[in-house]
Chain A
Amino acid sequence: MELRQLTVLGHEIRASVRPGTEPGPPLLLCNGIGASLDLLQPFVDALDPRIGVVRFDVPGVGGSPNPKLPYNFALLTVGVGAMMTQLGYDEYDVLGISWGGGLAQQIAFQQPRRCRRLVLVSTATGSIMVPAPPSVLRKMVTPQRYRDADYAVQVAAELYGGQMRDRPDDVRRLMHAHSRVGSRRGYLLQLLAGAGWSSLPGLPFVRQPTLILAGDDDPIIPLVNARIMERLIPRARLHVYADGHLGLVTSADTLAPLVADFLRPGGEAL
């Protein structure tokens, strides 16, 4: 776990690089809305040590100060490209979870030469998607669940589903113990970045081999979204796992090997 502070296009970005034990493109993780890179630690720990992993905090989230101006996914992709160049990676694989899944699709679409493979977890196609029930969406509008552990426990089952229904208290450990809370403004700008954005028309043009992971009990992203993405992305494969929205973290021990198999040559069953 190697934290560092980078200056990318005039913004200070907190990033973490786990060097892989073997050469090859690293895996870039794009996190969910309001979440700092620390939350993905269980997944990184479970992932094959041969694969290098790069994580970063979007401006205004976790350990990165607020962005100077509002941004959208396309601009953020330019920033991510500059960051990876700075870190010395020309080619990389991208994994996006939830909101970060939107960014990951944008990266795949915008950087076809640099992004080798794509993994989409608990994510959908942006503003044109099959939405969650309003009661769930309402709780997603503020970063309250990141700021108030008791509130997070209270809404964990309804919001995240899966294992969180039986162990809502785990949310404290997963989302609070080591996380960094960004600003309210940072969260709103993240919401804004996704406003009006949809990957739907672009998906047929995504050339990368794609692995889609979706939980069968994810209140935020109904499963049908994953099926739509699988249908539209030419080289996509869908794997449905038995867990909720935070499956990548709560079921890291079963999902990380799947991701590693998909990323490493020899793990190609497409």
Chain B
Amino acid sequence: MSSSTTTRLADAAAPLDVLLVDAALGPVRRFLPDMSTARWAVSLARRPRTTARRLGALAGETAKVVVGTSDVTPRRGDRRFTDPAWTENPLLRRLVQVYLASGRTVDQLVADADLDPRDRKRVRFLVENVVEAMAPSNVPLVNPASAKAVIDTAGLSLVRGGTQLVKDLASSPRVPEMVDTSGFTLGENIAATPGSVVFRNEVLELIQYVPQCDEVHEVPVMIVPPTINKFYAIDLSPGRSLVEFSTQNNRQMFVISWRNPDTRHSAWNFDTYVGSILEALDAVEEITGSAQTVLAGICSGGILASITAAYLAGIGRQDRLAGIVLAVTVIDNHDAGTVGALSDPRMAALAKARSAQKGFLDGRSLAEVFAWLRPSDLIWNYWVNNYLLGKKPPAFDILFWNADTTRMSAGLHADFVDMAVENQLTRAGALTVLGQPIDLGKVTVDSYIVAGIADHITPWENCYRTTQLFGGSTRFILSTSGHIAALVNPPGNPKATFHTNDEHGPDAKAWLTGAETHQGSWWNDVAQWLDARCGELKPAPKEMGSTRLQPLAEAPGTYVFDK
């Protein structure tokens, strides 16, 4: 799999709270015509002339297609129609041209209509999904590759594809299987960095990783991973693991592995999670003997880490933190991309009620929503590969991690949705956690913030706004690629670059204009930043844990196996 495909797959994403609201309500809602669609129809009917002109143009184009004089061609980079048969077979060529012309006309009709931005986005979403689904490349035997496969395998490809389709539809998530999981074994070739679980409570396991150097910096780093999917996004295959990279760079690494909650844990909320992060922090201090720790957080884990830091600042114990690192984390949700368009307070309330009723938000429905946000890459691409060609999906560590979904307790789900919809973390005291009003401005330790330029889940401009929230000095880094690919950024990739600019004004665009570009991965940059804040080097500990906190299990621990 080429790195560009990798990047594109990893970029398939959407804002966090859209995911959270949608997953609770189910993706089907998006495909049903709603009030926005009705308004679109009304708007088109009100402008009969424009509408008639567009449809007339389509009829004219169709006539040209039939005669063979049309010059409609697929966009460059449209991978659906790369097979030469799509252009050389007169019938197929005409089919593609009609399809493309119709799709473009529908797009224009959406653009013509007089709709407010929210309706427009919703209609566009619906229309794009429908147009995407109707592509001739999705039809067995019409797709030349599938026709060839049928001949090559004497029809077996259709049998295999059919079996696969039945299997995928039999259990949720009802989307094509995206990854061949058989090649990965947790703890062996994925999440395989050596370490031990040194602390466990109801909510989390704390993993201490074995230093891979003779000396380590005094001050340890503790990472709070996302609460969606498992923690090992930062410990994928060897050589693609942020944890492994850090242990090889004189770092004492501690990583939290969340338990996969079930119905019994529906009450777990911000208080529970922040409380357990504080317990883990106590354990890190006890094991390393360091009075300070660098607290790092990723995506939704970054939100929890920020709240934890503000809590410590609120109770006057900020001295326990040597710094904060936030990766692909959005704290200020104001106008984040399509959020306003796709979720509204009523939907948010409904979503919370839905997850409360179940006790949790199912990660598999998140996966479904996730896939339908980028149907071209995540549904139809595999539809053709798995069902039409009867091939196995590729084996790829990010997709393996992506398929390893987790539930989210109803309490946490509700807290996240409220936080996003009301933008609570941008106003001092709007949120109270463990009885302490949360004010990010009180956090005066240095922070390091990294975002991905092509990230759809956590748009980098929104990540950038965090620079205006914390009270301390901030270093903001903009990495290439999207949500997960920005995170999984091992040095040595010739294409990797990152932008830096020490002038953190309020405007993200202005920051980028003034930024300089560096070759390489931000992993090396954050390592330098940490070196400056993690104290002296000392001999690496020989044993994991402490006298009181004995190792309980080998990394990746036991919670990671909970389906």
Contacts and interface: CB of A to CB of B under 8 A. Distances in A.
B553 A69 contact: no
Interface string B146-173: 0000000000000000000001001100
Interface in B132-188: 167, 170-171, 181-182, 185-187
Contacts of B170: 68-69
A7 B563 contact: no
A12 B185 contact: no
A66 interface: yes
Contacts of A2: 554
A14 B561 contact: yes
Given A5-B185, A7-B182, A14-B561, A65 B171 contact: yes
A12 B563 contact: yes
B563 A63 contact: yes
Nearest to B364: A65
A176 interface: yes
A265 interface: no
A3 B558 contact: yes
B561 A63 contact: yes
B171 A176 contact: no
Interface string B179-212: 0011001110000000000000000000000000
Bin the interface of chain B by size: 10 to 19
A179 to B, nearest CB: 9
Given A4-B185, A65-B171, A147 B563 contact: no
A181 B263 contact: yes
Contacts of A65: 171, 563
Contacts of B186: 4-5
A146 to B, nearest CB: 8
A2 B557 CA distance: 9
A176 B563 contact: no
Contacts of B558: 1, 3
Given A4-B187, A68-B167, A14 B264 contact: no
Contacts of B187: 4
Interface residues of A, number: 21
Given A147-B264, A181-B263, A5 B561 contact: yes
Given A3-B558, A14-B561, A63-B561, A68 B263 contact: no
Contacts of A5: 185-186, 561
A149 interface: yes
Contacts of A147: 262-264
A23 interface: no
A180 B185 contact: no
B536 interface: no
Interface in A1-45: 1-5, 7, 10, 12, 14
Contact of B181 (A4, A12, A64): A12
Contacts of B167: 10, 68
B428 to A, nearest CB: 39
Contact of A14 (B181, B262, B554, B563): B563
Contacts of B553: 1, 3
Given A5-B185, A7-B182, A149-B264, A68 B562 contact: no
Given A7-B181, A63-B563, A68-B170, 12 more contacts: A2-B554, A3-B553, A3-B558, A4-B186, A5-B185, A5-B186, A10-B167, A65-B171, A65-B563, A68-B167, A148-B264, A181-B263
Closest CB pairs A-B (n = 5): A181-B262, A68-B170, A3-B561, A65-B563, A63-B562
Interface of A: 1-5, 7, 10, 12, 14, 63-66, 68-69, 147-149, 176, 180-181
